[in-house]
């Protein structure tokens, strides 16, 4: 039955859609349940936002990567992260800025965006420079994964320290991450959310590999486009809706934070579990991921309002269109 579904390209495409729905709802239920349990232990909304919610929004990418590694689809594991970061920066911030200019906080300009730039440059360096640790893998080796995870620990430490020293910074609306639910309901949501994530990730990876095989395109292209776009849909919806409400300041922090999580935590963890060899075109993908953050950083640094203006949003979208056209021409 499984082979029949995957061998039909239209049914495989439908399974990808079903997988994305399970990923989105699974992540939402997991966050709601975990946040409720954390609240029961007296953990503040600030800490919940920096940990449970931040990790939860990156769970779709994380689960897809873990399933990809189990299925030995390492190209999909890398492109899921790089593709998501490219779409996050160029498409989501581009569209959001077109709807309403995106304000930036000093923390984002001075630390978060530079960290996102460093993440892209490190991936580019890992796949173009011979490893100094004597490893034969051209790509992201286990030692490279360890370095990424150490940088992630530094990022989390710095984020907590900054939040403690500057409690007034953040979105103007006070966010409550929990609803009044019982512990039993919270635990049920956690397990249901995890099940949705695992099943959704399995459907997406197997269906994506099947479509790539039947269409004669690489897993990398499928990962950069279909899979990356699907795992970025929650950020896209949240950011654009916030822009329509003229509350687009939350978009920049969400997107840049997601990019940092994706590279330092998800890609780092993936490489430690299984080295991720380079694929054809990875250099341009890693470079574009870094360029997107560089353009965003320049956009907020070169105007007195420290915003991503509409013209900058248009530039981000043009860069993505040119990049996507070039990558598809490489097939």
Summarize the confidence of residues 206-220 as an average pLDDT.
80
Of the candidate ranges 115-119, 168-172, 313-317, the one whose mean pLDDT is the lowest: 168-172
The CA R_g of the chain, rounded to the nearest whole Å, is 19
In the predicted model, is pLDDT for residue 3 greater than 60?
A: no
Please say whether the beta carbons of 264 and 119 come within 8 A. Answer: yes
At residue 198, the pLDDT reads 84
At residue 177, the pLDDT reads 47
Here the contacts of 210-214 (C-beta below 8 Å, separation 24 or greater) are 210/6, 210/7, 210/9, 210/12, 211/9, 211/12, 211/13, 211/16, 214/7, 214/9, 214/12
In the predicted model, is pLDDT for residue 138 greater than 80?
A: no
Summarize the confidence of residues 112-130 as an average pLDDT.
87
In percent, the amount of the chain with pLDDT more than 90 equals 26
pTM above 0.75, yes or no: yes
In the predicted model, is pLDDT for residue 318 greater than 80?
A: yes
- CATH code at position 192: 1.20.1420.30
User: 137 pLDDT band (50/70/90 cuts)?
Assistant: low
Per-residue pLDDT tens digits for 220-276? 888 888 888 887 877 777 777 777 777 666 778 778 888 899 999 999 999 999 998
Q: Which residue has the higher pLDDT, 123 or 250?
A: 123
Torsion of CA 11, 15, 16, 19, to 10 degrees: 170
Per-residue pLDDT tens digits for 31-49? 788 888 877 777 766 566 6
Q: Phi then psi for 261, rounded to 5 degrees?
A: -60, -45
Q: Which residue has the higher pLDDT, 19 or 135?
A: 19
At residue 114, the pLDDT reads 93
At residue 297, the pLDDT reads 93
Of the candidate ranges 107-121, 135-149, 176-190, the one whose mean pLDDT is the lowest: 176-190
Buried b (16+ CB within 10 A) or exposed e, 185-212: ebeebbeebbebbbbbbbbbbbbbbbbb
Q: Which residue has the higher pLDDT, 214 or 265?
A: 265
Number of domains in the chain: 1
At residue 249, the pLDDT reads 66
Q: Which residue has the higher pLDDT, 1 or 305?
A: 305
Burial of 59 (0-12, 13-18, 19+ CB in 10 A): buried
| Average pLDDT value over all residues in the chain | 82
Torsion of CA 75, 295, 55, 16, to 10 degrees: -40
At residue 52, the pLDDT reads 72
In the predicted model, is pLDDT for residue 135 greater than 60?
A: no
Q: Phi then psi for 277, rounded to 5 degrees?
A: -70, 155
Per-residue pLDDT tens digits for 147-202? 999 999 999 898 888 877 776 655 444 444 455 677 788 888 888 988 888 888 88
**Range(s) of the domain holding residue 108:** 2-329
């Amino acid at each position: 039955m499984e082979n029949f579904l995957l061998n039909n390209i239209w049914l495989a495409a439908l399974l990808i859609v079903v997988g994305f729905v399970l990923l989105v709802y699974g992540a939402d239920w997991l966050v709601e349940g975990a946040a409720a349990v954390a609240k029961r232990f007296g953990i503040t909304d600030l800490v919940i936002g920096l940990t449970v919610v931040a990790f939860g929004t990156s769970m779709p990418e994380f689960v897809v990567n873990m399933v990809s590694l189990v299925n030995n689809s390492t190209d999909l594991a890398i492109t899921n992260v790089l593709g998501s970061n490219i779409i996050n920066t160029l498409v989501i911030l581009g569209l959001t800025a077109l709807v309403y200019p995106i304000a930036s906080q000093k923390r984002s300009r001075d630390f978060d965006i530079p960290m996102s730039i460093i993440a892209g440059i490190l991936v580019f360096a890992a796949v173009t420079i011979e490893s100094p640790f004597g490893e034969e893998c051209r790509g992201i080796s286990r030692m490279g994964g360890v370095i990424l995870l150490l940088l992630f620990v530094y990022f989390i430490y710095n984020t907590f320290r900054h939040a403690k020293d500057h409690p007034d910074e953040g979105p103007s609306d006070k966010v409550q991450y929990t609803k009044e639910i019982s512990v039993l309901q919270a635990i049920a949501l956690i397990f249901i959310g995890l099940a949705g994530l695992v099943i959704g990730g399995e459907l997406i990876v197997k269906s994506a590999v099947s479509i790539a095989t039947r269409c004669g395109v690489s897993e990398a292209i499928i990962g950069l486009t279909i899979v990356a776009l699907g795992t970025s849909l929650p950020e896209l919806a949240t950011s654009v809706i916030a822009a329509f409400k003229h509350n687009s300041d939350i978009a920049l922090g969400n997107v840049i934070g997601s990019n940092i999580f994706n590279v330092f935590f998800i890609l780092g963890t993936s490489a430690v579990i299984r080295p991720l060899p380079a694929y054809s075109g990875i250099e341009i993908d890693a470079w574009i991921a870094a360029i997107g953050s560089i353009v965003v950083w320049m956009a907020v640094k070169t105007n007195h309002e420290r915003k991503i203006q509409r013209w900058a949003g248009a530039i981000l979208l043009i860069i993505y269109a040119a990049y996507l056209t070039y990558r598809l021409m490489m097939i």
